[in-house]
């Protein structure tokens, strides 16, 4: 039997205004879900896939913002 993993997204998330966001910074912004949960979201909820550049992993900020809004999360953007 597969266990149902529950994780509540925050009601409000602040993302950087930059076009890409570091994957670790993104995880912290959305409540630090595990890697396994992010993979589950990718397969079951169409969470945007990250991309690598050398040893770093990034996500397209606009894709993450769109996904969060679809999940009912209020999203704001800021300049560092």
The dihedral built from the CA positions of residue 67, 71, 38 and 2, taken in this order, carries a sign that is negative
Is residue 36 in some structural domain?
Answer: yes
Is residue 14 in some structural domain?
Answer: no
- Name the band, by pLDDT with cuts 50, 70 and 90, for residue 35: confident
Instruction: Dump pLDDT digits (tens) for 53-72.
Output: 999 999 999 999 999 999 99
Give the domain extent around 51: 23-78
Pairing assessment for the beta strands 74-78 and 12-16 based on DSSP bridges: parallel
Query: What value does the mean pLDDT take over residues 70-80?
Result: 90
Percent helix, strand and coil across the chain, each to the nearest 5: 35, 25, 40
* CA-based radius of gyration for the chain: 13
Is residue 54 in some structural domain?
Answer: yes
The dihedral built from the CA positions of residue 35, 36, 39 and 44, taken in this order, carries a sign that is negative
Is residue 10 in some structural domain?
Answer: no
Is residue 8 in some structural domain?
Answer: no
Number of domains in the chain: 1
Rounded to whole angstroms, the Cα distance separating 9 from 63 reads 16
């Amino acid at each position: 039997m597969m266990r149902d993993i529950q994780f509540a997204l925050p009601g409000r998330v602040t993302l950087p205004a930059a076009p890409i966001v570091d994957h670790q910074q993104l995880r912290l912004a959305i409540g630090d879900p595990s890697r396994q949960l992010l993979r589950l979201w990718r397969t079951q909820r169409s969470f945007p896939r990250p991309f690598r550049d050398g040893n770093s992993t990034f996500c397209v900020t606009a894709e993450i913002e769109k996904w969060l809004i679809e999940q009912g999360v209020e999203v704001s953007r800021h300049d560092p």
